[in-house]
Structure 1
Amino acid sequence: MRVEASTGGVLRTLKKALILDADYYESARNTLRIRRLALTIVTLAAGSHVLGSAVILLINRASLPMMILALGLDGVAVVAGYYFWTFTIWKVGQWMKPIDPTYGDLLSPIGFAYAPQVLNFLTLIPLLGRPIELVLAVWSLLAVIVAVRQGLDITTRRAMFICLIGWPLIQVAIGFVQVLEQELVKLG
């Protein structure tokens, strides 16, 4: 099974990642093209999150400068969360068992696992936004567990433990950014 870095490759990767295809995570070789594909998925996830936030900020009549600041912060938070979570997984993985993969080796499979976040624009649905956001967060967690299990060649239980250390921190950070955005809207 080969991972391709093209438009079709992005769509195929999204599909495989969304269905938690363990073989797909394992077949992703650490090359520059694959890392770019993973970063493309993370960027799409950030864009989707920004889109959902933009509509909410427009509804709340945020001023243009505050909106630009809030949306920039929102997009950067998603990408920074990806790098932070990958770093946390790598460090805990090293602590639990001397692991062969480097930090860079984990960037691709964890980037693929961000595929559910590409659907984050669905949080615009009235009254369902928060539940959809939680479902997508848990779906991404499950995808990262599969990616870590395959990438580190460890048991599912260990992969869950490793991933669950950083996940709550990411969720708190996302909540903090959302509260900060609301405060920025009040200021503007």
Structure 2
Amino acid sequence: MKHAKTKESLSLVLRNALALNADLYENARNRPRTHRIALTIVILAAVSHMLGSAVILLINRASILILGLALLLDGASVVLGYYFWTFTIWKIGNYLSRHSPSYGDLLSPIGFAYAPQVLNFLTLIPLMGQGIGLVLAAWSLLAVIVAVRQGLDLSTRAAALICLVGWPLVQIAIGLIQVSEQWFVKAGS
């Protein structure tokens, strides 16, 4: 019974996060189990990213060792990117506002904002994968802007500027990992 209730909560949070529901982000730190649900969303995003990479690596006939290392790096890049991006937002938010929430209080709303990344497996669609990846990244950026606007009680413009500090760094890091994986597959062939 308890497990079913958590599933309902997760699916409700995912729907509200995908819809950029400002109330979800406004009340994120006041809800029970929010840290667990947010981390679940980030882990689902990492698994979805790993799934897309796994299929591409298998098509390119990556060795088991390279496949395992690449998937570990893919998953870690999403999770570490989440913590890094939250940290940059928190630090800048502390600089701009005397009454900003704690780092821990920002983890839930920003974790919820990773909901579009749960759809990352769709990047497997031939000829559309890169475009879908860009749309999902932009959608997550918009969700994080809403989360920061609500969480730090800032204007949309200020929230966007704060979010744009860490977002390109996270995107570049993930891109570099993917390029490195491709290089290792070619070198191992």
Is 1:82 paired with 2:82? yes
1:118 aligns to what?
118
Give distance in 2, aligned partners of 1:179 and 1:87.
25
Paired positions, count = 185
The code of the aligned residue for 1:176 comes to L
Contact preservation (8 Å) 1:5, 1:36 = no
Q: Matches of residues 60-99 of structure 1 in structure 2 within 5 Å? A: 60-99=60-99
CA displacement, residues 116-164 of structure 1 (integer Å, 9 cap, x when unaligned)? 0000000000110000000000000000000000001111111001001
**CA 1:30–1:72 in structure 2 vs 1: closer, same or farther (change >3 Å)?**
farther
1:29 aligns to what?
29
1:180 aligns to what?
180
The runs of 5 or more residues in structure 2 that have no matched partner are none
Give distance in 1, aligned partners of 2:170 and 2:6.
29
Give distance in 2, aligned partners of 1:117 and 1:26.
21
The code of the aligned residue for 2:111 comes to G
1:152 aligns to what?
152
Contact preservation (8 Å) 1:30, 1:108 = no
Residue 5 of structure 1 deviates from its aligned partner by: 7.1
**CA 1:99–1:179 in structure 2 vs 1: closer, same or farther (change >3 Å)?**
farther
Give distance in 1, aligned partners of 2:108 and 2:14.
13
1:137 aligns to what?
137
RMSD: 1.4
* TM-score with structure 2 setting the length: 0.94
**CA 1:6–1:146 in structure 2 vs 1: closer, same or farther (change >3 Å)?**
same
% identical aligned pairs: 67
Give distance in 2, aligned partners of 1:103 and 1:145.
16
Contact preservation (8 Å) 2:29, 2:109 = no
Moved over 4 A (4+): none
CA displacement, residues 23-74 of structure 1 (integer Å, 9 cap, x when unaligned)? 1111223567210100000000000000000000010000011100000000
